[in-house]
Amino acid sequence: MGNWLVNHWFSAAVLAAWLGINIFLFTYYFLFFDRDERYFYTRAILGSALAWARASAKCLNFNSMLILLPVCRNLLSFLRGTCSCCRRTLRKQLDHNLTFHKLVAYALALLTAVHTIAHLFNLERYNQSQQATDGSLPAVLSKMHLQGSKWLNPIHSNQTTVEYVAFTTIPGLTGVIITLALILMVTSSTEFIRRNYFELFWYTHHLFLVYFAGLVIHGIAGLVRGQTEQSMAEVHPYHCAEYLTQREQNCTHSCCKDPEFGSIPAEVGQCWDGCGGGEALSLPLGCSSPVLFQFFAPPSSQSWKWVLAPIILYVFERILRVWRARQKVVVKKVVMHPARVLELQMQKKGFCMEVGQYIFINCPAISPLEWHPFTLTSAPEEDFFSIHIRAAGDWTERLIDTFQSETPRIEVDGPFGTASEDVFQYEVAMLVGAGIGVTPFASILKSIWYKFQQADQTLKTKKIYFYWLCRDTGAFAWFNDLLASLEHKMAESGKADFLTYRLFLTGWDTSIANNVALHFDTATDTVTGLRHKTIFGRPMWNMEFAAVAAAHPR
């Protein structure tokens, strides 16, 4: 438990803060709408479903504010690279950006379900109250001011159905659209679809534009209403509610006056001089001029206040990425390695990278909209940047085939930061890669090679352990030259012990095993040609960690 807290206390604190804010918002607004006197008459019709709907709506606004931030890659790279307070603890938290993005998305899905179910109950109770003829308080309230604008029940006719309200009003229609968009985004984000039908995931995820547009205007009509402040001063619900059902019995009490209702916190469409209010986005009768502000942000719609800043930030993020992607990229060299691994060496004006970073690649000849991430395999000291692409799907297969026949135009967005940038901040580093996942370590090992050539005295790293797991021997081929060069250079520099690497072959056949057995006593490995022998099988990680810990007690 102690070790877990040392490694994960900040992540746990962030999760606790996020969860705590959600619980606070839900509890606070649930109690507010369940007890506030302005909603006394609304609760008479809707019951507790009002509080469930409004509390979940506030949490939806909060999480909608957060959902875009973890995918603002330039913001994360800025925090990782330039913010003085973003050292190891916070920098490690930045590596969980997609995990947090998914967590917030699942919370949105859950809260949307709660909000939708609550409003379905609300619509049904609105409808029942409108059709009721028993003289009860909900029935009386539902039939007030049918010709005016200060109604409480949005269903004004006995012939109006719940379905009609759900699909013809602004809140109902946008709610349906938002829910469908969210369902499609969440279901298409499952690991199976992302891995096997990436294009479906990618295109469907852009429904977030529909989601935010619907969210901003969802509450614009102010269908859920409460009693106005002015009306409460004259006809307070705690004193007057019982008299509303006695009006047909020649009620002479002052409380028999009809209460007035409007959107809270202010009546939508009302002029600020206090004259009568019209419906949303309409000019009230008797007002001399329209309220300009109402056309952009009606007071009954609060969501825009929550999401405006993140949306602006994300828009700038996308503008920056589009501008950067349009800058010319020159492909200097194309190398086809064994196991269908394509190496592209490129140059781009103003491109500046660090070890372990990644870029997004687009090939308009294949698809103008598809962008795929690849880790940089070049070192910052080189005058080009490179990536290695393994055939692992339709897009990569087509890209490799295209480059074998011509050199198409390439667009590049990035680079973006990763945890691997921190490798030179530690005296001892363990690098673990599997298959083509070794690419970030190609950048690191190349950079080390250059630092040794330049006799860099500022290099803090004293020891590197490198583990590479591959399923077949072909995957080793393109990386062998780099490891052989590092072996030779470090031996010449008297630092042969600086790099310890171990290669694991997790899949092999009888011919490979027999060949290894025949040449067991040779100085170099028969699979890779390197000094370190290839190990068959997977690492015993408990033993590996124990050995490294024993060699470096601090």
Quote the pLDDT of residue 83.
Answer: 53
Residue 169, beta-bridge partner list: none
Quote the pLDDT of residue 185.
Answer: 93
Domain segments of the chain: what residues? 20-264, 328-418
Quote the pLDDT of residue 522.
Answer: 59
Q: Which amino acid is at 210?
A: V
Q: Name the phi and psi angles at 478, rounded to 5.
A: -70, -20
CATH code for the part of the protein at 328-418: 2.40.30.10
Quote the pLDDT of residue 305.
Answer: 87
Q: Per this entry, what is the length of the chain?
A: 554
List, as one string, the DSSP characters of 176-225: HHHHHHHHHHHHTTSHHHHHH-HHHHHHHHTTHHHHHHHHHHTTTT--S-
Q: Which residues of 312-336 are buried (b: 16+ CB within 10 A; e: fewer)?
A: eebeebeeebeebbeeebeeeeeee
Q: Where are the alpha helices (DSSP H) in 218-348?
A: 229-234, 237-240, 303-325
Question: If we measure between CA atoms, which residue out of 349, 164, 141 comes closest to residue 243?
Answer: 141
Token digits of residue 391: 């055939």
Quote the pLDDT of residue 539.
Answer: 87
Question: If we measure between CA atoms, which residue out of 220, 241, 230 comes closest to residue 302?
Answer: 220
**pLDDT per residue as tens digits for the range 73-119:** 888 877 776 654 556 666 777 778 888 999 999 999 999 999 999 99
Crossing angle between the packed helical segments 49-66 and 208-217, to the nearest 10 degrees:
130
Residue segments in the chain with a per-residue pLDDT below the cut of 70 = 1-2, 81-90, 145-149, 247-256, 264-301, 455-456, 472-478, 480-482, 493, 507-533
Quote the pLDDT of residue 56.
Answer: 93
Cβ-based neighbour number of residue 404 at 10 Å: 10
Token digits of residue 219: 């509450």
| Strand ranges, E, within 471-549 | 499-505, 535-536
Crossing angle between the packed helical segments 2-35 and 97-131, to the nearest 10 degrees:
20
Contacts of 403 (CB under 8 A, 6+ apart): 334, 336, 342, 344
Query: Using omega within 30 degrees of 0 as the cis cutoff, is the peptide bond preceding 415 cis?
Result: yes
The vertex-224 CA angle with 222 and 227, nearest 5°, equals: 100
Token digits of residue 133: 């003829």
List, as one string, the DSSP characters of 88-130: HHHHHHHTTHHHHHHHHHHHHHHHHHHHHHHHHHHHHHHHHHH
| Strand ranges, E, within 253-384 | 261-262, 329-337, 341-348, 358-362, 372-375
